[in-house]
C-alpha cells in the first residue's frame, strides 16, 4: 500500500499548477477510498521550497506595486493576488500532511480536505483571471506564507498557531471588504467565488484551531497563553486588524483571544 506521505510529497513538489491540482484531487480520492497508509518508517526531509511554476516572480512585499483596482489591470492584479494565496495554501496543507508524523488519522483527513478545497479555489480564480485576459504568473507576488511555513516546520503546534490562526485568518478579516469592492465594480463572478472561499476558509482556520489545541492538550499547555507567546516570539506581537469577529468566532477564536489580538 502506498503511504500518504509519499503521495503528499508528490503533490507538494509538483511545479505546474494544473498538475498540482490534479494530484491533489487524485490523492484525496485515494485517501477516501482507503488506499493510503499513514504508517511509515521514513522521516520527512528538511523543509525547502515547494514545487511552483517559474512565474509569478516572487518579490518582497514592500516591492509589490500598489495598483488601483478601478482599471482592468489593477482589477486582474487583485484576483491574481488571491489566486496566489490559494496556490500557496495547497502547498501549506500538503506540507502539514507530509511533515507532521504520528498524528491521529483525523489530522490527515482534515488537511487533505483543506488541500482539495484550496485547489478548487485556485482553479476557480485562475479560470476567472483568464476571462479578464490574464493568467496566473502574469503579476509578481510575495512568498510570505511559505516563509512562515519554513519558520514553523520544526513544530506542529507552532505551525497550527501561526499559519492558519494568524496568516490565513487574516483572509477572514479582509475578504468582506474585497467582496464589497468587487460588487461595486460589477464583477459578480468574483463575488460568487469569494463567497465560496470565505465559507470554506472559516473551516480551514477552525481546523488549525482544533489541532493547535490538540497539541497544547498533549503537552499540558494553556492554548491562549501559548498563542499570545508565539505571536510575540515569531511576529514581534504585530497583528493587523480590524477583525471579522463572527467569522473568527466560527473558526474557534475565544473572546479572550480576540481581546488579546485587539490589544496587539
Compute, in degrees rounded to 10, the torsion defined by CA atoms 65, 85, 168, 183: 70
Percent of the chain with pLDDT over 70: 98
- 53 domain-assigned: no
How many domains, the chain? Answer: 1
What's the rounded mean pLDDT across residues 111-135?
98
- 28 domain-assigned: yes
Q: How high is the pLDDT of residue 1?
A: 75
Report pLDDT digits (tens) over 1-32.
799 999 999 999 999 999 999 999 999 999 99
DSSP for 76-128, please give it: HHHHHHHHHHHHHHHHHHHHHHHH--S--HHHHHHHHHHHHHHHHHHHHHHHH
Cell numbers at residue 52, please?
511552483
Domain that holds residue 202: 2-39+68-263
Say what the pTM is.
0.96
Q: What is the mean pLDDT of the chain?
A: 95
Q: For residue 70, is pLDDT > 90?
A: no
- 45 domain-assigned: no
As beta bridge partners, residue 58 has 141
Amino acid at each position: 500500500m502506498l503511504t500518504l506521505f509519499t503521495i503528499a510529497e508528490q503533490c507538494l513538489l509538483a511545479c505546474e499548477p494544473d498538475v498540482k491540482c490534479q494530484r491533489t484531487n487524485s490523492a484525496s480520492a485515494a485517501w477516501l477510498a482507503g488506499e493510503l497508509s499513514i504508517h511509515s518508517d521514513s522521516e520527512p526531509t528538511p523543509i525547502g521550497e515547494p514545487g511552483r511554476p517559474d512565474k509569478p516572480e516572487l518579490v518582497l512585499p514592500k516591492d509589490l506595486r500598489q495598483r488601483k483596482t478601478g482599471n482592468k489591470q489593477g482589477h486582474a492584479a487583485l484576483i491574481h493576488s488571491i489566486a496566489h494565496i490559494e496556490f500557496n495554501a495547497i502547498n501549506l496543507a500538503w506540507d502539514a500532511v507530509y511533515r507532521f508524523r504520528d498524528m491521529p488519522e483525523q489530522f490527515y483527513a482534515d488537511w487533505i480536505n483543506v488541500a482539495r478545497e484550496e485547489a478548487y479555489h485556485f482553479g476557480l480564480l485562475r479560470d476567472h483571471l483568464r476571462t479578464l485576459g490574464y493568467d496566473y504568473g502574469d503579476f509578481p507576488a510575495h512568498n510570505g506564507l511559505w516563509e512562515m511555513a519554513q519558520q514553523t516546520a520544526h513544530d506542529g503546534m507552532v505551525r497550527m498557531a501561526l499559519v492558519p490562526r494568524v496568516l490565513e485568518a487574516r483572509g477572514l478579516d479582509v475578504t468582506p471588504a474585497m467582496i464589497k469592492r468587487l460588487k461595486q465594480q460589477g464583477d459578480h463572478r468574483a463575488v460568487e467565488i469569494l463567497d465560496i472561499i470565505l465559507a470554506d476558509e472559516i473551516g480551514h482556520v477552525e481546523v488549525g484551531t482544533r489541532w493547535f489545541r490538540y497539541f497544547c492538550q498533549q503537552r499540558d499547555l494553556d492554548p491562549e497563553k501559548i498563542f499570545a507567546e508565539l505571536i510575540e516570539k515569531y511576529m514581534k506581537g504585530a497583528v493587523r486588524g480590524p477583525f471579522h469577529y463572527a467569522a473568527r468566532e466560527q473558526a474557534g477564536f475565544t473572546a479572550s483571544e480576540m481581546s488579546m489580538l485587539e490589544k496587539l
